[in-house]
Chains A and B, each alone.
Chain A
Amino acid sequence: MLFNSIEFALFLPVVFLLYWFVFHKSIRYQNTLILIASYFFYGWWNWRFLLLILLSTLIDYIIGLSLENEEDDVKRKFLLFTSIGVNIGLLGVFKYYNFFAESFAAAFSLFGTPFDPIRLNIILPIGISFYTFQTLSYSIDIYWRKLEATRDFISFAAFVSFFPQLVAGPVERAKNLLPQFHKNRVFDYHNPTNGLRQILWGLFKKIVIADNCAVYANLTFDNTMDYSGSTLALGAVLFAFQIYCDFSGYSDIAIGTAKLFGFKLMQNFAYPHFSRDIAEFWRRWHISLSTWFRDYLYIPMGGSRVSKVKRIRNVFIIFIIGGFWHGADIKFLAYGSLHALYILPLIILGKNRKNLDVVAYGKFLPSIRDVFDMGTTFCLRVFALIIFRAASIEDAFIFMSRLFTKELFSLPSIEVQNESSLVLYSLILIFNLIEWVHRDKEFALSNLNLHIVLRWSFYIIIILLICFYKSPTSENFIYFQF
C-alpha cells in the first residue's frame, strides 16, 4: 500500500478511529491493532513476504531473550552472530545473491573457466533493508546491555512491522521506538494535528515536487545521447530535488502518521540542501541510517578516537557499505566511494565538524560565504547523484562525458524549459523558500504562527496543488526498491 494511494487514504482513518475509539482501553489492544494493521498494510503488496518479517521477528525475539539471560561471553557472541547471520543472510539472498553470483562468474571467466551462474528470479521484498537494520539494532543493543529484551511478543512484532516506517524508514533504533510500545498512549490534540501537517507537507513534496521533477529527470537520464550538456545538468539538478522530496516526503508522511498514533519517530531529514559541506550534508540526510552506521559500525571500529589513517579507512568502509546498502550494483559502490572522497579533505584538515549549527541562524539571508558553500556542496551532491540515478556505471560515465562539454553553457533544450516546466521551477523556488524560512524547525509546516484563516487557506492551497498539479506519471517512492 502506497502512502499516496487511495487505499491508504481509506486505511489510515479506519485504523485511527479503531485505535482511539475501540482499542483504546489498553496498550495491549492498541499494539495488537497496530500489528494487524501493519501486516495488512504490508500484505496488501505481497502477503507471501509477511512470512519473512514473521521469521525475522521470531528469531530476533528468541535471540533477544536468550542474549539477556546468557552470561557466557562465547555463547552471547554466538547468539549475536546468529541474529546478524540470519538477518544479513535474508538480505543477502534477496538483494545481493545475483550480484555476487554474476561477479564470481565474471571473475572465473577472466581465468578462462567461464560458467553460467544460477540466478534467482525473485523480486526484492519491499523494505527488507529497513526492517532488517531495525531488528539488528535490537539484538546488538541487548548484546551491549544497552537495552532490556522484551517479553511482550506483540509489542516486539508491532515494533518490527510498525506500518508508518516499515517499508522506507526512518530506520528506528529499538532503544527509541520499542519503549514507546510499552508506554500508555494518551490522545493529545497537538500531536495528531502536527502529524497531519507533516503528512500534508510530505504529500506535497512527493506528489507536487518529486513526481513532476521525475518527468524531466527521467527524460534526460533515459535519453542522454539526445540532449546537450546544459539540459543534462538541469536534468541532474531536477533529480536532486526529486530524490530529496521523494525520500524526505516519505519520511514526513511516516513520521506524521506515527504521530497520529502517539508515537515519535526520529527526524530523518534536516534540510540537507542547506548544508555548507559534505560532512554537514550527511548529518542532515537520511539521518536514521547515517546514525545507524555511526553507532553500530563506525564507533565499534574505533570512530574518531583512532589515528587519522584508521579514521580515513573507517570512513571509506562506512561509505562503501552505505553505498552497497542501496543495492547490489557497482554504481552504488562508486556512489559511496565518491562521497568518502568528498569528505576526505575535511577529515584530513579536521574540519568535518565545523558546521554543526543551522546555517545563518536567526537571520533571514545567508552570507555570501554561506551561499558559496551551500552551492558548492549542492553541486558535489548533484554530481554524485548522476552515478546513483544512471542505469549503470557505464551510463553514468556517458552522462558525465556529455555533461562537461562547451554545450554546458548553452540554453537547455526546449523540452525542459517549456511552459509546464516553468511552472515547476516556480514551485521549486517557492518550496525552497518555505523550507529556508523554517530551516530551524522539525519540518517546514510545524508551528506555523498564523491566524487560523490564513493557516487553513495555506493548507487548502497545498491540497489544491496536490490535487491539480499532480504529475502525469505517479512514480513509486524511490527508496521502496531498497
Chain B
Amino acid sequence: MYLFLKRCFLFLFITFLIIYAFVSYHKVERANYRQTYLHGIIDKHQLLDTTSSPRIIIVGGSNNAFGIDSEMIENEFNLPVVNLSINGGLGLYYMLGEVVSETRKGDIVLLSIEYFAKDNRNFLVNKLRSFPELLQYSSHYNIVNKVDLKISAAFKHVQTGILEYIYTYLPDRNVPEKPKPPKVPIYYRKAFNSNGDVISHLDLEGHLEKSDRQYYPYKYWEQIDDLNKFIRTTRKRGAEVFYLFPTYAKSFFMQDAESLKLLELDIKTNLNVVVLNELESFVYPDSLFFDSNFHLTGKGRHQRTLDLIEILSNNEDFRLQIAQSN
C-alpha cells in the first residue's frame, strides 16, 4: 500500500513539474490586455456598486449592451439605470451570478437573455487567458469551479501555443478568405457610456448577412429552473424581476420561428415572473442590425428603447413596482 502511494506521489510530482514547465514556458502576454471590450465588466460593476438603490438593472447579453439607451429609460421612470449586459457568450450562469448578490431592496431587474442561453465554459476558458479576474465578478462560481476553469485556461493556452508551433510545419493550404468589411473600432473597454450602454456603434449603417440556417433547434430550456431559483433569491433580497424576450433580426427569426415559439410557450408557462413582452416585440428588420443578429445599430437601438418604454409603461405590475421604488 505504501509503495503504491509512494510511487503515485512520485509520478504525480514529476508530471506536475513537466506540466508546470509547459505552462510557464507559454505564459500569457498581457500587455494592454486590460483594455478589451470584456474588461468593460470592471467598469460596469464599479457603476453598479456606486449607484444607490432603488435602480433598474438590465441583465443579459449584447442584445442589451448594443440595443438599449438607458438614459431614455432613466428619464422616463426617474430611476437610475445600470446596463450590466455585455456579452451573451459569458453564459447564463455567469450573467445571473453577476447580479444575484448585488441586488438590494427596491431594485428592479430586467432580464433579457439571448435564447436558450446556458453555461458557456469554452468561452470563459478562452477569455480567462487574458482576463484572469473575470470570475470574481460573478458569484456563481465556487472555489472548485474557479480552480477548474483557471487550470483549463492555462492548459488551453499551452495547447494553442503547441498547435500553432505544429501548424508552422504543416504545408500552407492557401484557403481563400472571405472579404471582410472594413473594421471600425467597436469592441474596446471605453466603448460604454456612463450607464453601461455601448455607444461606439451608434453611427454604423445596418449590414447583416442573411442566413438560411436554423440556429436554435427546439429543446426544453432546462435553465428555466435556474432562472426561477435566481428570481426567488432576488425577491428574498427585496428586489423584483421582469423578463423580456431579446432583440433578434427578422430573417433569422423566420428561420427559428417554430422552435422559438415553443420556447416562448415554455417560458410563459414555467417561468415564475411577469413576462413583459411578446416573442416578436423586439424583432426588427435586418437593416437595423450590423455585425450580428442581436446587435442593433444606433437607429435600431433608439427604436427598441422606444418600444421598451412603451411596454414598460403599459404594464401594470411594472408601474406598481416603479411607484413602490420611487
B4 near A456: Cβ-Cβ < 8 Å: no
Give residues of chain A (400-436) contacting chain B, Cβ–Cβ below 8 Å: 414, 418-420, 422-423
Within residues 3 to 48 of chain B, which ones have a CB less than 8 A from any CB in chain A?
3-4, 7-8, 11, 14-15, 18-19, 22
Contact partner of A463 (CB less than 8 A), chosen from B3, B15, B159, B270, is B15
**Chain B: which residue is nearest A459 at the CB level?**
B11
- Bound Cα distance A223, B217 (Å): 12
**Which residues of chain B have C-beta atoms less than 8 A from A464's C-beta?**
18-19, 22
Give how many B residues have a beta carbon under 8 Å from the other chain's beta carbons: 34
Any chain A CB within 8 A of the CB of B184?
no
CB nearest to A422 among chain B residues: B170
Return the chain A residue nearest B269 by Cβ.
A121
Cβ of B163 and Cβ of A423 under 8 Å apart?
yes
Task: Give the docked Cα–Cα distance between A355 and B175 (Å).
Answer: 47
Nearest A-chain residue to B220, judged by Cβ: A121
What's the nearest-Cβ distance from chain B to residue A354, in Å?
Answer: 43
Cβ of A391 within 8 Å of any chain B Cβ, yes or no, is yes
Hey, which chain A residues are within 8 Å of B121, CB to CB? 473-474
The contact string, 1 if C-beta is below 8 Å from chain A, for chain B 304-318, is 000000000000000
Contact among A121, A418, A420, A456 with B11 in the assembled complex (CB-CB below 8 Å): A456
Of the residues B3, B122, B159, contact of A189 by C-beta under 8 Å: B3
User: What mask results when residues 176 to 199 of chain A are scored 1 for a CB within 8 Å of chain B, else 0?
Assistant: 000000000001010011001000
Set of chain B residues within 8 Å of A226, measured between Cβ atoms: 213
Main secondary structure of the interface of A (DSSP, over half): helix
* Cβ A460 vs Cβ B14 within 8 A: yes
- Residues A419 and B166 in contact, CB atoms below 8 Å apart: yes
In the complex, what distance in Å separates the CA atom of A476 from the CA atom of B213? Answer: 25
Distance in angstroms from B149 CB to nearest chain A CB is 9
Q: How far is the CB of B171 from chain A (nearest CB, A)?
A: 10
Chain B CB count within 10 A is highest, among A223, A467, A470, A474, for A467
In the bound complex, CA of A467 to CA of B175 (Å): 30
Select one of A10, A20, A418, A463 contacting B1, CB under 8 A: A20
Chain A positions within 8 Å of B7 at CB level: 193
Chain A residues, CB < 8 A from B173: 414, 418-419
Q: Is the CB of A414 within 8 A of B175?
A: yes
- Let me know if B148 and A473 touch, CB within 8 A: no
Interchain nearest-CB distance for A207 vs B (Å): 11
B72 adjacent to chain A (CB < 8 Å): no
B148 touches A5 (CB 8 A): yes
Is the Cβ of A468 less than 8 Å from the Cβ of B170?
Answer: no
Q: Is A368 an interface residue (CB 8 A)?
A: no
Check A467–B122 contact: CB distance below 8 A: no
Contact residues in A for B254 (Cβ distance below 8 Å): none
Complex CA gap A48/B220 in Å reads 20
Kindly state the separation between the CA atoms of A6 and B159 in the bound complex, as whole angstroms: 19
Alpha-carbon distance between A268 and B322 when the two chains are bound, in angstroms? 62
A464 to B14 Cα, complex, angstroms: 12
Mark contacts of A467-482 with chain B using CB atoms, 8 A cut-off: 1 yes-contact digit, 0 otherwise: 1111011100000000
Chain B positions within 8 Å of A459 at CB level: 11
Cβ distance A148 to chain B, nearest Cβ, rounded Å: 33
In the complex with contacts A391-B217, A414-B173, A419-B170, A467-B11 CB distance below 8 A: no
Does B147 interact with chain A (Cβ within 8 Å)? yes
Decide yes or no whether B232 CB sits under 8 A from chain A: no
- Contact of A470 with B152 at beta-carbon distance under 8 Å, contacts A223-B213, A414-B175 already known: yes
Contact of A10 among B8, B144, B158, B213 (CB under 8 A): B144
Is A51 an interface residue, CB under 8 A from the partner? Answer: no
A7 vs B155: C-alpha distance in the bound complex, in angstroms?
Answer: 18
A450 within 8 A of partner (CB)? no
Residues of B within 8 A of A470 (CB): 152, 155-156, 159
A464 to B222, CA, bound (A): 35
| Complex Cα–Cα for A223 and B11 (A) | 44
Instruction: Determine whether the beta carbon of B222 is less than 8 Å from that of A123.
Output: yes
Q: How far is the CA of A196 from the CA of B15 in the complex (A)?
A: 15
Are B19 and A467 in contact, CB atoms less than 8 angstroms apart?
A: yes
CB-nearest residue of chain A to B10: A456
Tell me, in angstroms, the Cα distance from A61 to B151 when the chains sit together: 44
Contact between B166 and A456, CB atoms less than 8 A apart: no
For A418, what are the chain B residues with a Cβ–Cβ distance below 8 Å?
Answer: 173
Taking the closest CB of chain B, its distance from the CB of A261, in whole angstroms, is 13
- Bound form: Cα–Cα A393–B33 in Å: 48
Distance between A120 CB and nearest chain B CB, rounded to angstroms: 11
Known: A187-B1, A189-B4. A468 touches B167 (CB 8 A): no
- Considering the complex, give the chain A residue whose CB is closest to the CB of B164: A419
B4 and A192 contact, CB distance less than 8 A:
yes
B residues less than 8 Å from A460 (CB atoms): 14-15, 18
Within the complex, what minimum Cβ distance (angstroms) separates B8 from chain A? 8
Does B162 belong to the interface (CB within 8 Å)?
A: yes
- Chain A window 222-264, contacts with chain B (Cβ cutoff 8 Å), 1 for yes, 0 for no: 0100100000000000000000000000000000000000000
Residues in chain A near residue B11, CB distance under 8 A: 456, 459
In contact, B213 and A423 (Cβ under 8 angstroms): no
Beta-carbon nearest neighbor of B159 in chain A:
A468
Query: Which residues of the partner chain B approach A474 to less than 8 Å between Cβ atoms?
Result: 121-122
* Residues of A1-39 whose CB lies within 8 A of B: 5-7, 10, 20
Are B144 and A469 interface neighbours, CB within 8 A? no
Which residues does chain A contribute within 8 Å of B270, judged by CB atoms? 121
B147 touches A6 (CB 8 A): yes
State the CA gap A423–B164 with chains docked (Å).
Answer: 11
Name the contact of B155 in the complex, choosing from A123, A422, A468 (C-beta under 8 A): A468
Interface contact A468-B158, CB-CB below 8 Å: yes
Separation of A20 and B18 alpha carbons in the complex (Å): 30
Q: Which residues of A contact B156 (CB under 8 A)?
A: 470, 472
Pairwise interchain contact A468-B220, C-beta atoms closer than 8 A? no
Residues of A within 8 A of B15 (CB): 460, 463
- A469 / chain B contacts, CB cutoff of 8 Å: 159
By the criterion CB–CB under 8 Å, are B22 and A468 in contact?
Answer: yes
Closest A residue, CB atoms, query B176: A414
- If A419-B166, A460-B15 touch, whether A6 touches B4 (CB-CB below 8 Å) is no
* CB pair A423 B166 closer than 8 Å: yes
A125 to B218, CA, bound (A): 21
Q: How far is the CA of A123 from the CA of B7 in the complex (A)?
A: 43
B144 touches A6 (CB 8 A): yes
- The reply to whether B14 and A419 form a contact with Cβ atoms under 8 Å apart is no
Contact with A along B38-63 (1 / 0, CB 8 A): 00000000000000000000000000
Closest B residue by C-beta to A189: B4
Q: Which B residues lie within 8 Å of A473 (CB)?
A: 121-122
Residue of A nearest to B270 (CB): A121
Q: Which residue of the partner chain B has the closest CB to A191?
A: B4
Can you give 6 contacting A-B residue pairs, CB < 8 Å? A192-B4, A460-B14, A463-B15, A463-B19, A468-B158, A468-B162
Apart from A418-B173, A468-B22: 13 A-B pairs, beta carbons within 8 A: A6-B147, A121-B220, A121-B270, A189-B3, A189-B4, A456-B14, A459-B11, A464-B19, A464-B22, A468-B155, A468-B159, A472-B122, A473-B122
7 smallest A-B Cβ distances: which pairs?
A6-B148, A468-B159, A419-B167, A467-B155, A187-B1, A468-B158, A472-B122
Interface residues of A (CB under 8 A from B): 5-7, 10, 20, 121, 123, 187, 189, 192-193, 196, 223, 226, 391, 414, 418-420, 422-423, 456, 459-460, 463-464, 467-470, 472-474
